Structures are given as C-alpha cells and as structure tokens.
Amino acid sequence: MPSLISIVMLTWNGLKFTKECVESILRHADDNIEIQFVFVDNGSTDGTVEYLQTIPSSKLICNQENKGFAAGNNQGIAEADGEYICLLNNDTVVTEGWLNRLLGCLLKNPNIAIVGPRSNNVAWSQLVYNVPYKSSAEMEVFASHWSLQHKDQGFFPHKLIGHCMLFHKDLITKIGGLDERFFPGNYEDDDFCLRARVSGQILWVANDVYVHHYGGSTFQTNKTNYSASAYSNAERFSKKWSLGITGLELDQFGYNPSELVEREKPFRIERHYIPINKK
C-alpha cells in the first residue's frame, strides 16, 4: 500500500507561486506515494482560496487573518492524515523523484527525525551556489543531472531550513509543533530542528534531492518587512535558548546549534515540548 504523505502548505496571496508549486507536485507524483494536500490560507485576497478549492485530495483551512508561519503550519499538522508530513513553502518548485528520495532517507534510518533537500535560495549547508538555469525547463534538467551526480548521497547538518522538511508524524507526538512565539516567520524552523536533536534524533540533508526556492515571496508579496521579522524573532530565539547575545548579534553572526543541543540535553517536556494549538 502506498505511503500517505500530507503536504502542509501555507498561503497568503502569491497565487502565481502557489500554482507553480502545486502543479510541480502533481506533475512529479509517484505511484509509491499517496499525497494529501493540507492548505492553510492566512487571509488571501487574490483568488488563492478559489484556486485551492479546485485541488483534489486536499483539505483547506481558511484564516481571516495572517496567523504566521508557525501557527499556520500547526493548524495544518493537526488536520493532516498522513503517516508522514512535509512542510513545504508555496514558493518552491519540486522536481522529479523529490518526495520518494526524501522518504527513502527516513525509512532507511530510524534515527533521522527530519529530512530536507538541497536548494538554490537557502542558508547554511543546503545551499547550491550559483545555479546555472534561467527557466523552469532548464531547472528541471539541472535538477535531474544534480540528482544523478549525487545519487544516494547525504549528510548531517546542524539544522534544516523550513522551506521543505519531511518527518514522521510521530515526531510531533514526541517534541510538539512549531513554536508560535516566532511570529510571523523566522527562527521557528531553527527551534523545531533543535528540539528534534535534543530529543536524541538527527537531521539529514538528501544531497540527491533538489528543490527550487524563490525565497521570501510571502514577505515581498504582502509588503512585510523581512528584516524586522528576522531581528525580532532572533531576539525571541536568543532569550528562549539563553544565548546571552542580542537579536542583532544572533542574526548577523549566528550561533552553534550543536553546542546548544549538547547543553540542552536531555529532552524535558516542560522545557522543550510545544503543544499544538489547533485553532
């Protein structure tokens, strides 16, 4: 029986990005995987909701206001029926075999909590520098070559970027959902990955999976100040994890996730578990 994966996707306007993303998922569907879409719309006014209502095998949650990345994803996770959950930004474009290979990484090593791909517009170790393509067709060719060149390769990162993360639903039972204090977005993915590692599991980058990421489209589309969000959430992150530095210092110079994980172990429910607010 095919594995059921719930793809949780947030939207807040940006219809053209959402269409391109959903179409890429449907185009690269795999017979070994059953997909359920769980869309969470944060108050779109550009026809996004009407479009999402046409997508088969989907659930749609409509918020009247922007609840942010963490809260929206938590809503989607709570409604997901899949054994596995993929948090996927609506400004990504997936490529052939992406989901099958991500799932394969989880299945071959039970110690892996979360798997992510390589991408063009991300920070840290997942970044593929200076990608050569300039069109969707060229991107597909590049991704195919990349996957062949890096077949079955992967590595342990300090953290994963939240634009595309696959994990078993049991992880939510173990560590909880995304921390909604990081509103509207930034650092909730750092926090989620840290708690997964503190629980005793590891992260994995599937080096043979390439996903295109436009990056920051929701902030740009809705004229939201990305830098202000990054700085304010960096401040919240530093205080939560007792880093002893300002949010500005954290955002500019970063931190060592592995040192923080070792300092925080073992996993404590009262300290590390984040219950999901389903509303």
Write out the E strands in 16-98: 33-41, 58-62, 84-88, 92-93
Most confident of 223-227, 251-255, 260-264: 260-264
pLDDT of residue 123: 85
Q: Is the pLDDT of residue 260 over 60?
A: yes
Q: If you average pLDDT over residues 48-68, what whole number do you get?
A: 96
Confidence bin at 2 (pLDDT 50/70/90): confident
- Cα angle 62, 64, 66 (rounded to 5 degrees) comes to 95
pLDDT of residue 217: 54
Q: Domain 3-272 carries which CATH code?
A: 3.90.550.10
Q: Is the pLDDT of residue 87 over 70?
A: yes
Domain boundary assignment for the chain: 3-272
Q: If you average pLDDT over residues 156-171, what whole number do you get?
A: 97
Q: Which tokens belong to 237?
A: 């992150």
CA 78 to CA 71: how far, in whole Å?
Answer: 11
Confidence bin at 37 (pLDDT 50/70/90): very high
pLDDT of residue 230: 86
Does the N-terminal peptide bond of residue 266 adopt cis geometry, omega within 30 degrees of 0? yes
Write out the E strands in 24-98: 33-41, 58-62, 84-88, 92-93
Mean pLDDT of the chain: 94
Least confident of 56-65, 134-143, 220-229, 255-264: 220-229
Write out the E strands in 98-201: 112-119, 154-155, 164-168
Q: If you average pLDDT over residues 15-33, what whole number do you get?
A: 96
Give 86's contacts (C-beta < 8 A, 6+ positions apart).
5, 6, 7, 8, 99, 102, 164, 165, 166
Buried b (16+ CB within 10 A) or exposed e, 162-185: bbbbbbbbebbebbbbbbbbbbbb
DSSP state of 133: -
Length of the chain: 279
CB 61 within 8 A of CB 75: yes
Q: Is the pLDDT of residue 38 over 60?
A: yes
Confidence bin at 218 (pLDDT 50/70/90): low
Q: If you average pLDDT over residues 150-179, what whole number do you get?
A: 97
Instruction: Count CB neighbours of 275 within 10 A.
Output: 9
pLDDT of residue 109: 95
pLDDT of residue 96: 97
Percent of the chain at pLDDT above 70? 95
CA 260 to CA 85: how far, in whole Å?
Answer: 26
Q: Is the pLDDT of residue 220 over 60?
A: no
pLDDT of residue 279: 64
Most confident of 64-68, 114-118, 220-224: 114-118
Nearest Cα residue to 24 out of 103, 82, 86, 98? 98
Q: If you average pLDDT over residues 83-112, what whole number do you get?
A: 97
Place of tokens 């060592």: 256
pLDDT of residue 124: 80
CA 210 to CA 98: how far, in whole Å?
Answer: 7
- pTM higher than 0.85 for the full model? yes
For 69, list phi and psi in degrees, rounded to 5.
-65, -45
pLDDT of residue 216: 66
